[in-house]
Structures are given as structure tokens and as C-alpha cells.
């Protein structure tokens, strides 16, 4: 490699490398350092101790919040797969007109251009005591008066987060299904396989990489969300991100918040690593 080539390569790589160092490596390093500090009213003091991590392990409230967050993120991801896969399958294999297919695809993607807060608040309007759902049930005679059972619970959180993040499930599944060569499906039919057998043996295995990618994105985004729990979760709907925000805010316990943020980061990285492993295994089997 000549000197000029090295200089050009350095110039090309310097901006993204600098961006990564300044906006990722440095903040995470600060979090790591703070996680070992000790809270001392009214602020916190430099120290090197594991008290913050010990608190996360021994205090049941943090374990309960973590398990609740994992549960909700898992339910959101499963719900999104159940809804997104048939929709993407319908777009790829049943809609023949490209214009109609594009319009239906954009109907899922377009909400990403709208404010996240507005999309989440929409479900508060739908599920509230004066919302659309209660009004419909009262008008049809199912209810005599507005009910508060639809809002401020885990079900409302799962519905809201599924609606907000389902585009991140549809897009990778759609891309995976669209890449399946039609000749493989035709060959399966020519060999006498029915529609269900063709789906089970050809379409589903070839689209699993899209399902895994979508599941990973949806799970990680739901795992780190804190707006939907605040709007529709109620007092028992706090998730890990809400606890972290409170530690850096009202509680003013940055060391404990940093420790919890790092635990959350490690869990997300672990999920991404497992997902990447499954995707590699899927590619290996297909090859």
C-alpha cells in the first residue's frame, strides 16, 4: 500500500472513527467510572467499590423491574412477529401490482415519520375512559359506563409498543421474503409439495434471518423504551429505562443509574450476539 493510499484511507476512516470514540466510547467509559462511585448526600463522591452492583443484585425491586422489562419486550416481539409475518408474506406473494404493494408497504413504514410521542399518545386516547374503545363499547351496549380496565396495565403497554415498533419487524421480514427465488417455490410445487409443505420447507427457513433480525430490533427497542410505560403503563408499569431516568433525575443517584445502564447495555449486547449467532447458523444451513 502506497503512502498516498494510506493517507486517503486514513482520511476516509477518521470521521467515523472519531464519531465512535467521542459519542460512544467516551460516554460508556464515563458510565463505567461512575458505576463504581458512591452516592453521598447531596451528590456522589469518587470511589472504587461494587456497592451499586450489589444493590442491583440484592434489592428485589430492581430484579422485578428487569424481569418485567424482559417479559414485556418478549411479548411485544412475539406479537409483532405474529402480525408482521403474514402481512409481509401477503405483500410479497399475493399482491401482484407493484404500485399496490408499495402503497401497502408504505402504510406500515410511514408512521416512522410521525413523532414517536404522538404515536404512543394515540393509544392513550384510544384506550382511555373517554377514548374510542370505551365509546364504541358503550354505544353497542357492551358497557353501561366507561371502564378504566383498558389503560394503565401491561396489556396497554404491549399494544402500544407493538404498534410503535412493528415497522422494524415488517421491513426485515419483507426483505427476506422478497429475496427468495420464485424458482425454488415453483420447484417445490413441481415436486408435488402442497402450499403448506412448501411454506414449511422452503419459505419459512429462507425467511428466518429476517424474522431473527426483526425480533432482535423490536426486542431491543422495546427493552429500552421509557415513554410508553410513562403514558400507558401506570404505577406498576415502570421498566428499566424509567428506573435509570429516575436515578439520573429525581433520585440524583448517578452511580446506581450508571450501574443499571451498564447492566442493560450488557444484556442488549448479549441478545444481539445471540441473534447474530443464530443468523450465521441460518446462513450456514442454507448454503
Does residue 42 have a cis bond before it (omega within 30 degrees)? yes
Please tell me the predicted confidence (pLDDT) of residue 7: 74
pLDDT for res 185: 86
Alpha-carbon gap, residue 162 to 159, rounded angstroms: 5
* Structural domains in the chain, sorted by start: 51-286 (1.10.3720.10)
Q: What is the pTM of this model?
A: 0.89
Q: Measuring CA to CA, how many Å separate 83 from each of 75, 86, 168?
A: 12, 6, 12
Given a contact cutoff of 8 angstroms between Cβ atoms, the answer to whether 247 and 257 are in contact is: yes
The residue whose grid cell reads 412448501 is: 198
Judge whether 161 and 78 are in contact, CB under 8 Å.
no
C-alpha 106: how far from chain center: 20
Print pLDDT tens along the chain (287 aa): 576 677 777 777 788 888 888 888 999 999 999 999 988 777 788 888 888 999 999 999 999 999 999 999 999 999 999 999 999 999 999 998 989 999 999 999 998 888 888 888 888 888 888 888 888 888 888 887 878 788 888 999 999 999 999 999 999 999 999 998 888 888 888 888 888 888 988 899 999 999 999 999 999 999 999 888 888 888 788 899 999 999 998 888 999 999 999 999 999 999 988 888 877 776 555 55
Amino acid at each position: 500500500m502506497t503512502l498516498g493510499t494510506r493517507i486517503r484511507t486514513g482520511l476516509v476512516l477518521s470521521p467515523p472513527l472519531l464519531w465512535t470514540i467521542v459519542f460512544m466510547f467516551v460516554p460508556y467509559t464515563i458510565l463505567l467510572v461512575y458505576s463504581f462511585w458512591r452516592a453521598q448526600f447531596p451528590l456522589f463522591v469518587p470511589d472504587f467499590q461494587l456497592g451499586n452492583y450489589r444493590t442491583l443484585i440484592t434489592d428485589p425491586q430492581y430484579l422485578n423491574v428487569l424481569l418485567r422489562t424482559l417479559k414485556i419486550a418478549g411479548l411485544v416481539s412475539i406479537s409483532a412477529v405474529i402480525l408482521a409475518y403474514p402481512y409481509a408474506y401477503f405483500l410479497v406473494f399475493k399482491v401482484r401490482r407493484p404500485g399496490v404493494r408499495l402503497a401497502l408497504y408504505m402504510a406500515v413504514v410511514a408512521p416512522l415519520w410521525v413523532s414517536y410521542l404522538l404515536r404512543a399518545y394515540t393509544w392513550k386516547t384510544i384506550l382511555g375512559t373517554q377514548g374510542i374503545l370505551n365509546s364504541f363499547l358503550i354505544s353497542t351496549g357492551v358497557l353501561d359506563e366507561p371502564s378504566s380496565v383498558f389503560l394503565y396495565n401491561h396489556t396497554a403497554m404491549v399494544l402500544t409498543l407493538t404498534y410503535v415498533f412493528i415497522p422494524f419487524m415488517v421491513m426485515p421480514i419483507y426483505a427476506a421474503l422478497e429475496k427468495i427465488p420464485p424458482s425454488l417455490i415453483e420447484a417445490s410445487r413441481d415436486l408435488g409439495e402442497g402450499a403448506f409443505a412448501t411454506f414449511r420447507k422452503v419459505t419459512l427457513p429462507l425467511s428466518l434471518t429476517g424474522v431473527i433480525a426483526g425480533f432482535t430490533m423490536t426486542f431491543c427497542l422495546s427493552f429500552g423504551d421509557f415513554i410508553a410505560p410513562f403514558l400507558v403503563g401506570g404505577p406498576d408499569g415502570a421498566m428499566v429505562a424509567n428506573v435509570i431516568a429516575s436515578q439520573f433525575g429525581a433520585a440524583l443517584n448517578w452511580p446506581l443509574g450508571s450501574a443499571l445502564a451498564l447492566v442493560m447495555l450488557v444484556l442488549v449486547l448479549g441478545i444481539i450476539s445471540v441473534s447474530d449467532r443464530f443468523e450465521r447458523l441460518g446462513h450456514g444451513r442454507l448454503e
